[in-house]
Amino acid sequence: MINIENGDPIVLTKALISCRSVTPQNDGAIEQLSHWLKEMGFKCDILNFKEEGTDDVLNLWARIGNDEGPALCFAGHTDVVPEGDKTSWSTDPFAANEIDGKIIGRGATDMKGAIASFVSATKKFLDERKNFAGSISFIITGDEEGIAINGTKKLLNWMDENSISFDDCIVGEPTNPKRLGEMIKIGRRGSVNGILTVDGQQGHVAYPHLAKNPIPILLNILNNLTSDQLDQGNEHFQPSNLEITSVDVGNKATNVIPQSASAKFNIRYNDNFNSETIEDEINRRLENFKNNFSLKLEHSGDSFLTKPGKLVSDLSEIIFNKTGINPDLSTSGGTSDARFIKNYGNVVEFGLISETMHQIDESVAVKDINDLSEIYYEVLTKYF
């Protein structure tokens, strides 16, 4: 375990990458981060959340400051996706080697580099301002890349039970497609997965009158489900989208009418819907097929939007001053832990470049880490 010393974000990034924290493993990442923050004067709580049938997950809540001013929180995750074929990497994915101005390693961009940048920025801020009105906090989970049961959601519930709150939050997800400064995420689409199942009656294909083929029924249902666009989108969101992701009968024979047929679909919906109204819309489209199918829906988060205000405008101005880029205010992409955080305060996402995340030879430019740390530092300075 290394000490915080001068808070160099490059050193901190490499130290975090060297922890092989593939979900739900931790390998010392949470403890290392807690060690740095304690050195800086933070009060830290390492929280182990568990649930039957799932892996235990370590999480971190850390806070410094007082209740006399605004409360800014930084949120992120130390867990990473598996490295895949290790032999395909140009270097050990957990050695954090620096080659040609880039640090190569799993989690470099998603999102250990951003965590290190915020820690570095916070140290610089605290070194200059021992006393400030307000508080700085960290919400860090080891369960973002996994099933997200024992992570941020439970940490937020724990905070609620202990009357802990914040006003604004920055999630350090890699939001920029190609260049640092291109994009701030001010919202996310909601997501719901569905499984449609139609039961028929198995039989010989030569005697269809003695069977009931579920496949044509399922195809008619899917046609009704997808025939009309869900909406046209709005100022901040693209149109809601329904995609069929699988159709299956599990039939290996060519002369048998199958017993059942099923289909899976996913809807990414904008803030024209919520979890209740999107279910209403699905059921409305299927009402002519009652008693012909079963439907199972699983929600992974509602859509949300942080309406542009001081947090967004200040961050945009700071990014422009540092990079010369006016960032897009976007709601694109998949889900993140911001879907839980938005219920507790204003939340935006801004981090590194997403181009290599989850890929072989995931990497981050040294310059981008340094620049991101300076942007976060300016945010802290302006915020307080």
Does 64 lie in the same domain as 23?
yes
Does 242 lie in the same domain as 317?
no
Does 268 lie in the same domain as 357?
no
Q: What is the pLDDT of residues 96-124, one digit of tens each?
A: 999 999 999 999 999 999 999 999 999 99
Domain annotation covers residue 75: yes
Does 255 lie in the same domain as 109?
no
> 384 with 206: CB under 8 angstroms?
no
Domain annotation covers residue 243: yes
| H helical segments located in 326-365 | 338-341
Sign of CA dihedral 136, 141, 145, 151: negative
Residue 13 and residue 103: Cα distance in Å, rounded?
9
pLDDT for 301 beyond 90? no
At residue 308, the pLDDT reads 85
Q: Which of residues 301, 323, 352 is at a domain's end? A: 301
Does 163 lie in the same domain as 102?
yes
Does 209 lie in the same domain as 149?
no
At residue 58, the pLDDT reads 97
The CATH number that applies at residue 332 is 3.40.630.10
Residue 107 and residue 85: Cα distance in Å, rounded?
15
- Provide the annotated active-site residues: 79, 144
Mean pLDDT of the chain: 96
For 224, 236, 277, the CA distances from 272, given in Å and listed in that order, are: 21, 11, 9
At residue 130, the pLDDT reads 83
Domain annotation covers residue 3: no
Domain annotation covers residue 52: yes
Residue indicated by tokens 């959340």: 49
Strand ranges for 119-277 from DSSP E:
135-141, 168-171, 183-185, 187-188, 190-199, 203-204, 241-248, 256-257, 260-269
Percent of the chain residues topping a pLDDT of 90: 95
Estimate the share of the chain in helix, then strand, then coil, as percent rounded to the nearest 5.
30, 25, 40
Q: Which two tokens stand for residue 355?
A: 């181009």
Please tell me whether residue 169 adopts helix, strand or coil conformation.
strand
- Mean pLDDT for the stretch of residues 88-97: 98
- Mean pLDDT for the stretch of residues 212-217: 96
Backbone phi, psi, residue 155, to 5°: -65, -40
| H helical segments located in the chain | 9-17, 29-39, 113-128, 152-161, 214-226, 275-286, 310-323, 338-341, 366-383
Q: What is the pLDDT of residues 45-71, one digit of tens each?
A: 999 999 999 999 999 999 999 999 999
Residue 108 and residue 357: Cα distance in Å, rounded?
8
Q: What is the pLDDT of residues 236-295, one digit of tens each?
A: 999 999 999 999 999 999 999 999 999 999 999 999 999 999 999 999 999 999 888 999
Pairing of strands 328-330, 183-185: parallel
Does 30 lie in the same domain as 94?
yes
Does 239 lie in the same domain as 198?
yes
Q: Return all residues near 276 (Cβ < 8 A) that are at least 6 apart.
A: none
- Mean pLDDT for the stretch of residues 345-372: 97
pLDDT for 333 beyond 90? no
Domain annotation covers residue 4: no
- Mean pLDDT for the stretch of residues 200-228: 96
Domain annotation covers residue 2: no
pLDDT for 307 beyond 90? no
- Quickly list DSSP for 43-77: EEEEEEE--TTS--EEEEEEEEE-SSS-EEEEEEE
The CATH number that applies at residue 259 is 3.30.70.360
- Mean pLDDT for the stretch of residues 176-195: 96
Domain annotation covers residue 260: yes
Q: For residue 333, which of 179, 235, 188 has the smallest C-alpha distance?
A: 188
CA Rg value for the chain: 24
Q: Which of residues 301, 323, 338 is at a domain's end? A: 301
Does 116 lie in the same domain as 251?
no
Q: Return all residues near 128 (Cβ < 8 A) that are at least 6 apart.
A: none
**Structural domain boundaries enclosing 333:** 9-188+303-383
At residue 77, the pLDDT reads 97
Other Cβ atoms within 10 Å of 115 Cβ, number: 26
Does 28 lie in the same domain as 99?
yes
User: Total domain count for the chain?
Assistant: 2
Domain annotation covers residue 114: yes
Does 232 lie in the same domain as 367?
no
At residue 17, the pLDDT reads 98
Does 66 lie in the same domain as 24?
yes
Q: Which of residues 280, 301, 322 is at a domain's end? A: 301
Query: What's the first-to-final CA gap in the chain, in angstroms?
Result: 31
- Give yes or no for a cis peptide into 9 (omega within 30° of 0): no
> 341 with 156: CB under 8 angstroms?
yes
